[in-house]
Every structure is written in structure tokens, then in C-alpha cells.
Amino acid sequence: MAQQIADRRDVDFVLHELLHVEELSEHEIFAEFNKKTVDLIIAEARNLAIKEILPTQIDSDREGAHFDAGKVTVPESFHRVWELFKEGEWLAMIEDPKWGGQGMPRAVALAASDYMNGANFAFMMYPGLTHGAGKLVESFGTEQQKELFLKKMYTGEWTGTMLLTEPEAGSDVGALSASAVKNEDGTYTIAGNKIFISSGEHDLAKNIIHPVLARIEGAPDGTAGISLFIVPKIWVNEDGSLGEPNDVVCTGVEEKMGIHGSATCSLSLGSKGKCRGMLLGEENKGRLPAPVRPTCMPSIMPASGFRVGIC
């Protein structure tokens, strides 16, 4: 019997009989997502998950991510699946097609991604972190930053991370010691060490975009003085071309049970004094007062009249 991961009948019940997602096609923004299209998306996601991603699970656990002199290689089987994942435009399903997304309802995207997460969560850490990092750029970046980074991240040409935790600053993020000094050209020189960084270094993409929490010289102590920066592994020039390596060095890979294929890295920033970053958002606003919430499309369940938001 074929591995199901998630029962298709259950998925269809939730999407069509409980949420009635096909009714979202009545709205212009989701006009092309009728029942036939939704069913096709779920079928394709299930096929990719079962036929391509699931077979990488054993390799992922046994081979893991390998560290060698600052370089990290992922299980060989990940490379083919990564290319298929990019070709299918699965990384940013809910995002604007302008930036490489498919613009689909979040409920449909969640149903599709559940198959993939169930197939091999270690693999899905790479697109998951990339999408999250891209969302930060989309939400808080300047127009220039969006043009430089967003489409390449949402299409998987480049990947992304989130650099928060430090050896002395785990749950107490305000205790971080990573520093940022403003340069004359408007960039910042970044220095510090980060740990437990999922997808921090690997060989799936040419560039990795790191959103980094650091404290600007002279900023207040604690969370009030934290700022957020875009720190590319390879510097990105104003015309979008790749420049020089950006003094971001992987110093080791952690072992995490169940996700050996996910590269959980320790990273050194600016050990040679040549790590540059771009401010993302405002100074001293790296710790947001409220989570970022995407705009939701309202939907009404006819059976109950209960109003819900499906993003």
C-alpha cells in the first residue's frame, strides 16, 4: 500500500465541506482558484511529496548535513527535489506572482505543504526558512531591497535564514552581543556569533540571505536596542549581481534528532571585519511589538454563517 502521509479524503473534507474554499474564487484576487484548480494543486503536491520528497527521508536521516572547513553539504538526494520544488513554484504559494508566488489562498497552500512537511520535514526546513526571511523583506524592506532580494528568494534561487540566537542570548534575546556600526555609505559593519541557525550554510543555492538581529553602536540595552539587518552570504550589488563573499563563516553543524538533513549551523559574522549588512526596517525596531499578520480574505461558511478569515 502506498504511503499516504495525509488521507486525501480528509483533506478534501476540510477544504470543500468544512471551509468551502472554492467560494473564494468569487473574489477577484482568487478568481482562478475554483474547485478544479484546488483539487489539481493538492493532487500535484501529494504526487511530489510521495514520489519525490518522501524517498529522501532515509538518506536525510542517515547522511545528514556534512560540515567541512566552513562548507556544508546536504544529502545528495536533496538536490533533485530542490530543483523540482523550485520548478513547481511551491516555495511562496500564497505570495504575489509579481515576486514569484502563486497568489493562492492560504488554506490551500497549507493543505499542499502538509503533504510535503509530512514527507520530509528536514528538507522542508530550507524553503520554510527562506519564505519566512522573504516575508520580512516584503513586510519591512525598502523598494530597492524588495527588488534586490524578494523574487530570488521566493523562487528559491537564493535561500534565507533567521539569525537570532547567540551563545549567551537564547530565550533572552535582549542579551545579544552582535554589533552593528554604521558606515559612510549607509551600510553597517556587523560582528558577532550566532548559533542554532537552520539552513545557515548549505550547497543548494548560490546565495543565502540572513536577517540578523544586532545592536547598533550606542543603542539602548535590552530588546529596545535591537535592530534587524539583511546580511547576504555573498554581497549583492545595487544592480542585483553578486559581489564578494561577505565574511559570514560557518563554524560547525549541530546534530538534531529527526532532522539530520537540516543544516543547523553556528555562524561567525565579521571575524575579518568585512561583514556588511543593510538595515531592514527602522533602527532599534528589530523586536516588533506585534507579530506580522498577512491580510486575510473573509469567507463565510454557508452551513453555519460563521465568518472566518482564510489567507
Range 230-253 average pLDDT:
97
CA distance 209 to 126: 12
Q: CATH code at 35? A: 1.10.540.10
Q: What pTM does this model have?
A: 0.90
What pLDDT does 291 receive?
Answer: 46
Supply the angle between the helices 56-63 and 77-87 in degrees, to the nearest 10. 130
The pLDDT score that the predictor gives to residue 281 is 96
Of the residues 91, 118, 143, the one at which a domain ends:
143
Q: What span, in angstroms and rounded, lies between the C-alpha atoms of 188 and 180? A: 6
**Based on the structure, what is the number of domains in the chain?**
2
Whether 308 and 19 have beta carbons less than 8 Å apart is answered as yes
Contact at 8 Å (CB) between 127 and 85?
yes
Asked, for residue 38, whether it belongs to a domain, the answer is yes
Q: Return the closest-CA partner of residue 42 out of 110, 89, 123.
A: 110
Cβ(83)–Cβ(127) under 8 Å? no
Output the nine-digit C-alpha cell for 9: 479524503
| 189 in any annotated domain | yes
Q: Are residues 186 and 269 in the same domain?
A: yes
* 281 touches 188 (CB < 8 A): no
Residue 302 has pLDDT above 80, yes or no: no
Write out the residue range of the structural domain in which residue 221 sits. Answer: 159-279
Closest to 118 (Cα-Cα) out of 269, 225, 40, 7: 7
Cell numbers placing 111: 493543505
Same domain, 77 and 183: no
Residue 203 sits in the same domain as residue 165: yes
Residues in the chain, total: 311
Percentage of the residues of the chain whose pLDDT score is greater than 70:
91
d(CA 215, CA 182): 11
Percent of the chain whose predicted confidence (pLDDT) is above 90: 86
C-alpha–C-alpha distance, residues 91 and 69, integer Å: 30
- For cell 472566518, what's the residue? 308
* pLDDT level of residue 288 (50, 70, 90 thresholds): low
Is there a single domain that holds both residue 15 and residue 137? yes
Number of H helices, E strands in the chain: 8, 14
Mind listing the pLDDT tens digit for each residue in 149-186? 999 999 999 999 999 999 989 888 999 999 999 999 99
pLDDT score for 16: 97
Q: What is the 8-class DSSP label of residue 30? A: G
Residues 131 and 12 in one domain: yes
Strand ranges, E, within the chain: 66-68, 71-73, 159-160, 179-182, 188-198, 208-216, 226-232, 234-236, 242-245, 248-254, 264-269, 276-279, 297-300, 307-310
- pLDDT tens by residue, 202-220: 999 999 999 999 999 999 9
